[in-house]
């Protein structure tokens, strides 16, 4: 659901990683890249709006206003929005994928 929201808002390279058998932090990570601070903010707002329509709200939102790495904690799902450079540097896909 949230991956589709990000794709509609033109997030780059949206990836969903199932983590439920590897950590208690969350069941899924949704990872994507944004092209600018403005784009990252629009992606965060789109996720928040979708959650609100479902009667939910994020547990936490970190990194608003910075393109480097923004995070939306939705409980069972954590959304990571990166700049392309930060995404490559932190390599969450490499850490969490088999």
In this structure, what CATH number is given to the domain that contains residue 16? 3.30.460.10
With 70 as the cut, is the pLDDT of residue 11 above it?
Answer: yes
For residue 51, the Cα-to-chain-centroid distance in whole angstroms is 13
pTM over the 0.75 mark: yes
Cα torsion 73, 92, 37, 25 to 10°: value is 10
The 10s digit of each residue's pLDDT in 17-44 is 999 999 899 999 999 999 998 999 999 9
The 10s digit of each residue's pLDDT in 48-88 is 999 999 999 999 999 886 779 999 999 999 999 999 999 99
Q: How many domains does the chain have?
A: 1
With 90 as the cut, is the pLDDT of residue 5 above it?
Answer: yes
* CB-side neighbour CA atoms (13 Å) of 41: 6
How confident is the model at residue 66, as a pLDDT? 72
How confident is the model at residue 53, as a pLDDT? 95
The residue segments making up the domain with residue 91 are 2-96
With 80 as the cut, is the pLDDT of residue 98 above it?
Answer: no
């Amino acid at each position: 659901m949230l991956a589709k929201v990000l794709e509609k808002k033109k997030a780059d390279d949206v990836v969903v990683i199932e983590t439920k058998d590897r950590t208690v932090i969350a069941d899924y990570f949704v990872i994507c890249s944004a092209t600018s601070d403005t784009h990252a903010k629009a992606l965060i707002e789109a996720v928040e709006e979708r959650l609100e329509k479902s009667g939910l709200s994020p547990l936490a939102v970190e990194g608003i206003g910075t393109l480097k790495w923004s995070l939306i904690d939705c409980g069972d799902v954590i959304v990571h929005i990166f700049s392309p450079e930060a995404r490559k540097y932190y390599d969450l896909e490499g850490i969490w994928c088999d």
